[in-house]
């Protein structure tokens, strides 16, 4: 997973975190795992151990 490229206006309210998890969940559905290369995404996976099923 590379940079999310989200709109800076969405930085409040957890929108980036939701986008990170939804993208990761989509990958899990098709049976793949991801490697978070984006520093934000990597940090989110470190903060949310419940998301680690997609790594």
pTM for this one? 0.56
For 8-53, write each residue's pLDDT tens digit.
555 555 677 777 778 777 888 888 888 888 888 888 888 888 877 7
Residue 10, pLDDT score: 53
Residues 23/53, Cβ–Cβ less than 8 Å: no
Q: Is 23 exposed, middle or buried (0-12, 13-18, 19+ CB in 10 A)?
A: middle
pLDDT for 6:
56
Q: Would residue 12 count as lying in a domain?
A: yes
Residues of the domain holding 37? 8-54
Is residue 1 a part of any domain in this protein?
Answer: no
Residue 55 has pLDDT above 60, yes or no: yes
What distance in Å separates the CA atoms of residue 11 and residue 34, rounded to the nearest whole number? Answer: 23
* Residue 2 covered by a domain: no
Report helix, strand or coil for 25. helix
Q: Considering its fold, how many domains does the chain have in total?
A: 1
């Amino acid at each position: 997973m590379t940079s999310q490229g989200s709109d800076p206006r969405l930085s409040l309210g957890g929108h980036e975190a939701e986008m990170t998890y939804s993208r990761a969940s989509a990958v899990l559905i098709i049976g793949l795992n991801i490697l978070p290369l984006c520093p934000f995404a990597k940090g989110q996976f470190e903060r949310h151990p419940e998301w680690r099923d997609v790594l």
